[in-house]
Every structure is written in structure tokens, then in C-alpha cells.
Amino acid sequence: MNYNFFIVGGDKRINLLAKKLLKDKNGVYTFANEIEGATEIDKKENIKNYNYDIVISSMPLSKDNMNVYTPLSDKKMTLEELKEISMGRILIAGKIPQDFCKKVDSSDNKTEQLTYSPKSYKEEKKIKCYDFLNDEVITILNTIPTAEGAIQVAMEETDFTLSGKRALVIGFGRVGKTLANMLYKLGLDVYCEARKETDLAWIRAYGYKPVPLDEMKNNLCKMNIIFNTVPIQILDKSTLILLNKNTLIIDLASAPGGVDYKTAEKLGIKAILASALPGKVAPETAAEYLQEFVYKAIR
């Protein structure tokens, strides 16, 4: 079965996703994301003239909680306008604000399902929403380009081979696990910080060196590279002053990151915020993951 998709905003990943949907013989309309072969809608008031089943928007949906994120276009659409055009349809996007949709039972679906129904609409007219970033499969698969991108940054920002060097991975979540594995295979001496006893045990089992949080400061001075995956400011002034000035910090946490960047600059320590790497280093692969998600959500 073929569908009609309406693409609103989004970055290169969404652009490539739309091209894949077109290749599958689906209808594709766009606003604020120009795609060759798709029908571009120039004005918002013309949207109502088109028949579409599913709305796909940005990752994240918004960066200011007011407007749809449209990095590839000067055109704008508010979240309220997006609600209006999505009413009675499926909306798929990333990091959908909590107040945009209301949670409903999703026990029969692996993705988190949400609905939105304003008072001005009849009860049956709802938005069925699916969030890319609530899908465990996408989250896990995205750790691969994130880890590869982090290693690429490390290679570009250092003047030595990584093999044989010491690297500390702060946080042993999904990204931390994949990154530690890749670094280990490249021949680095891998240290991993974790809080849970079970994580510290797994770190030992994988052949890495476990670093409990309360012992992290004792290990910092000997690191060549530190990769942070924790979305709180764990590398603050009290921590940064313990580092060798030649240590490179690569921060993979979501902006604003987990590093006191002002202090790092004053100390002469290079710290790089490298968040959202999948869309930057491997948008084609990211689009493949999104395509799988879209078809799983609507079928």
C-alpha cells in the first residue's frame, strides 16, 4: 500500500528519508525542505488543498518550543500550525514536546504512541503521534554513527595515532557501550566510568578498565582523550583542573553538553561539543533507520 506523506522542515536526514519514500512510489509533499521529485507547497494556506495521510517533521521537532525546526529553509511554521495540519492524521517526528501530545496506551506497539485533541475539535479528530527518539531500535542503531563520528573527531583533532593511547569514556549507557567497544578494537587502553556495580562488572568482563564515579578524578591526569556521554556538567572546574593540558575532550552529550567550556578555555584544554553526530556524519544511514521506523509505525 502506498501513502501520501507531508514533510515539514527537518534536516538532511529527513530530506534523505523523503527521497527514500518517493523511491518506494509514495506521494510526497513538502514544506521548508525542498526535495527533487516531490510537490513543494510554497504557502501554508495552500496545504489544505492537498490530500496526505502522514506528516513527518524534524528531529528535534522544535528547538524553541514555538516553531518547527527548519534548518534547510527560511520558511517557518509554528507548532500550533503543525497541530492544525496534522489533525486526524499520523505525525512522526523526534523529541516531540510533552505538551504537544498526550500519552495513551501503547502496549500493542513498540513505539510510544501519543494523541492530541484540542477542545475546539471533535473527540474523534486526533493526532496519532510517533516519536523517532522513543524507539529503542533507532536509539541503539544511532550509537554506531555516533561512535564512529566521535572517533573521526578524535583523529582529526590529535596529532598522534589512537592505538596505544588512553581513553576515558564517561557514562556506560548505549553510546558509551558502543564507543568503548570501537575504541578497544582500535587498540586503545579503554577506561569506562560507571555508577552501577553491574555496569562496572560488565566493563571488566569486556576487558576495559572500570572507573567508579568516586574514583574518576584519580584517573584523569593520565588520559589522552576523554569522551563524555553524560548530559550533565560532570567535567566542571574541580575536575578540569586535574587534567593534563594536552588532553582532548569530546563531549557527545546533548547541548549544552557536560563540560564547563569557559573554564576549559581558560585552562587551555581543548573541549569539543560533538552532539547530534548521526545526522552530521552518516545522514544516509540515519535515514535508513528512520524509514524502517516509519513503515513499522504506520503498518
Question: Mind listing the pLDDT tens digit for each residue in 127-169?
Answer: 899 999 999 999 999 999 999 999 999 999 999 999 999 999 9
What's residue 110's pLDDT?
43
Dist CA 228 CA 236 (whole Å): 12
Q: Residue 155 forms beta bridges with which residues? A: none
CATH T-level fold of 141-279: Rossmann fold (3.40.50)
- pLDDT one-digit tens code per residue, 64-88: 999 999 999 999 999 999 999 999 9
pLDDT for 120 equals 43
d(CA 128, CA 206): 42
Q: What is the pLDDT of residue 194?
A: 98
For residue 109, the tally of other CB atoms under 10 A from its CB is 11
Q: Is it the case that residue 8 has pLDDT exceeding 70? A: yes
pLDDT at 5: 98
Q: Is the pTM for the entire model greater than 0.95?
A: no
Q: Cell 523526534 maps to which residue?
A: 94
Please determine, for residue 124, whether its predicted confidence score (pLDDT) is greater than 70. Answer: no
Mark 249-272 as b/e (b = at least 16 C-beta within 10 Å).
Answer: bbbbbeeebbbbbebbeeeebebb
Q: Give me the CATH topology for the region 4-134.
A: Rossmann fold (3.40.50)
- Give bridge partners of residue 94 from the DSSP assignment: none
Q: How confident is the model at residue 105 (pLDDT cuts 50, 70, 90)?
A: very low
67 contacts 78 by C-beta, under 8 angstroms:
yes
Rounded to whole angstroms, the Cα distance separating 166 from 48 reads 58
What's the mean pLDDT when you consider all of the chain? 92
Domain ranges of the chain: 4-134, 141-279
Q: Provide the pLDDT confidence category of residue 15 given band limits of 50, 70 and 90.
A: very high
Distance in angstroms (rounded) separating the CA atoms of residues 26 and 17: 12
Domains 4-134 and 141-279 are alike in CATH topology: yes
Does the pLDDT of residue 28 top 80, yes or no?
yes
pLDDT tens per residue across span 180-212: 999 999 999 999 999 999 999 999 999 999 999
